[in-house]
Amino acid sequence: MGRKSIAQQFENLESAGGKAFIAYIMAGDGGLANLKDQILQLESTGVSIVELGIPFSDPVADGPAIQEAGKRALAEGVTLKEVLTAVAGFKDEINIPIVIMTYANPVLRLGVGNFAALCEEAGISGVIIPDVPYEESAEFEVPLKDVDIALIRFVTLTSSKARMEEVLKTAEGFVYAVTVNGTTGIRDGFDDSLGAHLEAVRQVSPVPVCAGFGIKTREQAREIGAHCDGVIVGSRIVELLHAGQAEEIADLIPENAGIEKVRQID
């Protein structure tokens, strides 16, 4: 079975009138031996895409829950290469796209070309590198493009329309629209202008727009998802997995999101 297409996943959701629900997890939190079962469980719950975080010692975009998960994974000795090798071993059992979220340093240490090759072997569909600005992204983008893997673009609340147009003109996969100014982590609410911002990003973007950072409840996912093509939930899912409460992840997914839930509605 080949790489799972991000574009096809969004087409499937759109044709069923649904939204994407993207789940972030930290690879190796609890040990790499559990990674396959965690992804399969997310898939069976109705998650559309898995964003697989790589543990790193200086995670500048991550809030407390994900930082702690990264520390636990690092304590297990988990590396980027080990994660990709592990995923390569069970990729044919997974039926949803997997996107890698890593920082630049682990990729540079591995070698960008080697990283792209390992991602291809693992069936990875996209890569997110939050500490690489658009102006410096070619070093990563070109090797990934050579193996048909999307480098996911970011836009923030402070991005002007001109900046969004520049950054998104070559966007692939989906756009990661950051919903807050700051790091990841659970929040009680969002700025009243967020909906209008997400709609503005959609008008500019050639690919689907998904909103992430701070979403912790089904209600927030439903409310924010109404203005874009899907939502990304990380910290709350990481907390539930660590607490052994994976069954509660289903309670985060709105009725019109997630592949299985969309199929049920359809």
pLDDT per residue of the chain (266 residues) written in tens, 0 to 9: 568 999 999 999 999 999 999 999 999 998 999 999 999 999 999 999 999 999 998 877 677 899 999 999 999 999 999 999 999 999 999 999 999 999 999 999 999 999 999 999 999 999 999 999 999 999 999 999 999 999 999 999 988 999 999 999 999 999 999 987 654 544 455 667 899 999 999 999 999 999 998 899 999 999 999 999 999 999 999 999 999 999 999 999 998 776 555 544 33
Amino acid at 214: G
24 φ, ψ (degrees, to nearest 5): -90, 135
User: What's the structural domain count of the chain?
Assistant: 1
Asked if the structure places residue 16 within a domain, the reply is yes
Could you tell me if residue 87 is inside a domain? yes
Q: What is the pLDDT of residue 190?
A: 64
> How high is the pLDDT of residue 169?
95
Q: Which residue(s) pair with 209 in the sheet?
A: 175
The whole-model pTM stands at: 0.92
Check residue 193 and give its pLDDT.
Answer: 82
CA atoms of 251 and 212, how far apart (whole Å): 17
Asked whether residue 254 is domain-assigned, the answer is yes
* Domain hosting residue 237, numbered range: 6-153+230-265
| 8 Å CB contact between 156 and 178 | yes
CA 212 to CA 224: how far, in whole Å?
A: 9
Q: Is residue 184 part of a domain?
A: no
Q: Is 176 helix (H, G, I), strand (E, B) or coil?
A: strand
C-beta separation of 40 from 94 below 8 A = yes
In a domain, 81, yes or no: yes
Please indicate, yes or no, if residue 129 is contained in any of the structural domains: yes
Q: List the Cα angle 20/47/240 in 5-degree steps.
A: 120
- Please give the helix or strand (H or E) that residue 155 lies within, else none: strand 153-155
pLDDT at position 259 = 56
Active-site amino acid positions:
51, 62
Domain of residue 65, CATH code: 3.20.20.70
Residue 123 lies inside a defined structural domain of this protein: yes
Q: With respect to residue 168, please indicate whether it lies within any of the assigned structural domains.
A: no
